[in-house]
Every structure is written in C-alpha cells, then in structure tokens.
A and B are shown apart, each in its own frame.
Chain A
Amino acid sequence: MSPLVMLAAEEAENPLIPPIPELVIGLIAFVIVFGFLAWKLLPNINKVLEERREAIEGGIEKAEAAQTEAQSVLEQYKAQLAEARHEAARLRQEAQEQGATLIAEMRAEGQRQREEIVAAGHAQIAADRKAAAAALRQDVGKLATELAGKLVGESLEDHARQSRVIDRFLDELDEKAEATR
C-alpha cells in the first residue's frame, strides 16, 4: 500500500472531518426543534408567564390597597372612638355640675320654705294666743259675773241644783272651748 493511499484511508477515518449527510440531518433535526419552540411553544409559555406575573403583582397591589384602606378605616374609627369618649366624659362632667347646682338650689329653696313656714307658724300661734288671751280675759270677766249672778240668782239651798249649775257651766265652757277651737 502506498503511503498516499494509507493517508487517504486515514483521512476517511479522521473523526474531525464532518460527513455531509450527518450535517444535513443535524440541521434538519435542529430546525425541527427550533421551529416548534420559536414558533409556538415558547411564545405560549411567555404569555402565560407574563399573565402569572401580572396576576401575582395585581394580587399584591390589591392586598396593599386593601391594607391601606383597612388602616385608614381603623384610624378613623379610633379617632371617632376617642372623640366619643371625650364627649361622654364632657357630658358626664356637665351633668355632675348641673346636678350639684340643682341640688344646692333645691336645698336653699327648701330651707327658705321651711323658714317661711316656721315663721308663719310662729306668727299664727302668737296671734292666736293674743286673740285667745283677749277673748279669755273678756270671757272670764263675763263668766265670773254670769256665774256670780247665777249663783246669787239661784237658790242656794239646793246643793244638788247648785252643783248641777256648776256642771252645766263647765259644760258650757267646754262647749265654748270646743266651738272656739
């Protein structure tokens, strides 16, 4: 075998010389993969990944909005509550003050009325006593005269009668006292 032929034979086996048919099939095989992925499958998944990203971000945004709203509502509520408490305390204070003045006024009024009644009572009693004393003085004289007259006028012998007259007199006195009362 000549060296040239041997070289040629080795050349055919050189693993770094690409056989043409394999090149063609390799190209076809790769184009199949690239074609399907680039034409349909990767755009498909990109769309879905984008949708997912938006869904997640949208969800997060929604949650954030809800949270800020909840926070503001809570603050509002707290402010209202504080205001209400304040108002209630103020009202209670006012009512207490009003009640105190009311009680003081009532007490003063009561005192005043009592004093008036007492004074009126005293005056009445004094007047009554005066009138009674005056009437009594008048009556005593008259009675004494009457009694004396009766005593003198009646027969003194009849002791029983005498005592009956005294009784009658006393009864009359009683009646008078009853009447004047």
Chain B
Amino acid sequence: MSADPTQTLAFDTSCHLFSGCGFPAPGLHSFLFKPLWGDADSNLYFNKTMLLALIGSIVVVAFFWAAFARPKVVPGKLQMIAESGYDFIRRGVVYETIGKKEGEKYVPLVVSLFFFVWMMNLWSIIPVAQFPVTAIISYPAILAAIVYVLWVGLTFKRHGFVGAFKNFTGYDKSLGAVLPLSMTIELFSNLLVRPFTHAVRLFANMFAGHTLLLLFTIASWYMLNGIGIAYSGVSFVMVLVMTAFELFIQAVQAYVFVLLTCSFIQGALAEHH
C-alpha cells in the first residue's frame, strides 16, 4: 500500500494493461478521502463525504421546499411528484406497519429518513460526486442510533421497565425450559445485533455497490490499451448495467431502512407477543 492511500481520483489513471503495471484494484483505500480542510489525524477535518452529506440534505430540503412551501389543493407537477413520494412512505410504509392511528406521529421522521438515505445513496451515480455517502459507516450508524434510541425509549415508555424487559426478551411462559436460553438470545439479538445490522445492511450494500462500480470503471480504463480495448468495452457495458442496478438498489435500501425502522417502532408499541 502506498504511503498515502487517499487520492483525488479513485485510482491511478496512468496505468494501463500491457504497460507493465498491475491492476489498480479498488479496496478500502477507495473509501478514504483526503480532507478538504483540516487534518485527517485529528478529529477536526472536512472531507468529500461531509460535503456531499450537507449538500444532499440541502437538496432534499430544497426539493420539498419547492414542492410543499406553498402547496395547492390542485397540485402542480412538482408538488404531485413530491406528494406521491410522501404518500408512498406515509401510506405504504408507516400506515402499513404501525397503523394509521399510532403511526401518524412518526411519519415526519420516517419520511425524512427515507429521502435523506435515498439522497445519500443517489450520490453514488451522480456525476462528479460519484460516491455513496452511506458507504461510510458513520452515516448509517448515526441514523440507526437515532432509530435505536427512539424505539428503545418508546418500549420503556409504553410498557414500563418490566414490560420493556419482557418485550426485549420475547418473554413467553409456554416456552418452558428453553425460556432462559430464548430470552438471552432475544435480548442479545434485539438490543445489540439489531441496531448493528440495521446500520450495516445499508452501509454494506452501498459499499459493495460502489466497489463493483469502481471495479468495472477501473477495468474499463485499465484495459483501454491494444487488444484490451475489446475487454474494455465489455467492462464498460457492465458499468452501465451496474449503474442502472445501483439506481434500483439505492431506492430499495432506503426503503428497507425505513421499513425496518417502522417495524422496530411497531414492535416497541405492540402489546406482548
């Protein structure tokens, strides 16, 4: 590994097949960025993903501001699009999982989560940016943490301390002798594994997607030499295919993230199961 793993571009562009240098494969270093400001060793810096995160949140707010700031009973085109997105999350996710009465309170949070995550994912295929912000674990982690605090807090508030404990452990007398074991597993699964998988599911999907895109993009460029051009073409087709696939995965992962959020909230509010 080179002394400085971070680069301005994702790979070394001077390297080609048959020119005596190895394939500059993408790896963990592809997810490290030189700070635009500050020092990477201290905790005071500003880099590309932070810039994208902030711009992304401004884009989301700007979109909804343009659509909903002065909404009309008879909607314009932009309002109609935003409304259908809003309605999809509200009705299709929140009402479906939590129910209309209990779920109404959490609609703003879930809608914000969905569009925020989707925007962060979308950066992956937006030219120049071309990096999914959610492929840095911090972003999914902070969102998962917010959701975790919310649903754990809700469980205690709804069921009291003992009730919450029963809720976390899936307490069920009919299990008999295996109850202690089942309770231990459930407690571990719900309180420790759940937030971790919640964050990592999103992170890993975006991480892998970006790696795949990088792989084919780098390969297209790397093989662009001599007879390699033919392979390069194949690789470039894969770049296009993977870009389309990523577009789909980005939406799906944002959807899965909020669907899980809702199912956690629903579990916290539900009576003993």
**A residues at B contact (CB < 8 Å):** 13, 15-23, 25-30, 32-34, 36-38, 40-42, 44-45, 47-49, 51-52, 55
Which residues of A have CB within 8 Å of B111? 37, 42
Q: For A48, what are the chain B residues with a Cβ–Cβ distance below 8 Å?
A: 71-73
- Inside 8 A of B60's CB, which chain A residues have their CB? 33
Alpha-carbon gap, A111 to B70, bound state (A): 98
- A17–B115 Cα distance when bound, in Å, is 25
Task: Check A18 against B108 for contact (C-beta < 8 Å).
Answer: no
Q: Which residues of B contact A44 (CB under 8 A)?
A: 68-71
> In the complex, are the beta carbons of B142 and A37 less than 8 A apart?
no
Contact call B28/A19, Cβ cutoff below 8 A: no
CB pair A52 B137 closer than 8 Å: no
Chain B residue numbers with a CB within 8 Å of A27 are 142, 146
Verify if B86 is at the interface (C-beta below 8 Å from A): yes
Contact of B244 with A by CB under 8 A: no
A-B contact count (CB 8 A): 118
**Could you tell me if B138 and A23 are in contact, using CB atoms closer than 8 angstroms?**
yes
Q: Are A13 and B138 in contact (CB under 8 A)?
A: no
Chain A residues lying within 8 Å of B72, measured Cβ to Cβ, are 48
Closest A residue, CB atoms, query B200: A16
The yes or no answer to B53 lying at the interface (CB within 8 A) is: yes
Cross-chain contact B61 with A22 (CB below 8 angstroms): no
Q: How far is the CA of A76 from the CA of B141 in the complex (A)?
A: 72
The reply to whether A36 and B61 form a contact with Cβ atoms under 8 Å apart is yes
Q: By the criterion CB–CB under 8 Å, are A33 and B44 in contact?
A: no
CA distance A55 to B61 in the complex (A): 28
Beyond the given A13-B5, A37-B64, please list 6 additional residue pairs across the A-B interface where CB-CB is below 8 A: A18-B136, A29-B116, A33-B57, A34-B116, A40-B69, A45-B67
Using A21-B45, A22-B50, A29-B57 as known contacts, say yes or no to A15 and B109 having CB atoms under 8 A apart: no
Contacts of B141 in A (CB 8 A): 18, 23, 26
Report the Cα distance A29→B49, complex, angstroms.
11
Q: Does B190 contact A (CB under 8 A)?
A: no
Is B107's beta carbon under 8 Å from chain A? yes
A22-B136 CB under 8 A given contacts A16-B200, A29-B56, A45-B86 = yes
16 residue pairs of the A-B complex, CB under 8 angstroms, read A16-B137, A18-B138, A19-B136, A19-B138, A20-B43, A21-B45, A21-B50, A22-B139, A26-B143, A29-B116, A34-B108, A34-B116, A45-B83, A45-B86, A48-B72, A51-B73
Q: Which residue of A lies closest to B55 (CB)?
A: A29
Complexed CA–CA distance, A48 and B61 (Å): 19
Complexed CA–CA distance, A27 and B32 (Å): 20
Known interface pairs A18-B138, A25-B50; A34-B109 also in contact (CB < 8 Å):
yes
Q: Are B73 and A55 in contact (CB under 8 A)?
A: yes
Contact flag A22-B49 (CB < 8 Å), given A36-B64, A41-B68, A42-B111: yes
Tell yes or no: B54 within 8 A of A by CB.
yes
Q: Assess A18 versus B112: contact at CB under 8 Å? Given A45-B71, A48-B73.
A: no
Asked if B188 lies at the interface with its beta carbon under 8 angstroms from chain A, I say: no
A37 contact from B28, B73, B108, Cβ within 8 A: B108
Q: Which 9 A-B residue pairings sit nearest by Cβ, starting from the closest?
A: A22-B138, A38-B108, A18-B138, A29-B57, A48-B71, A34-B112, A41-B68, A26-B139, A29-B53
Closest partner residue, chain A, to B58 (CB atom): A32
Contacts of B107 in A (CB 8 A): 42
B65 at the interface (CB under 8 A from A): yes
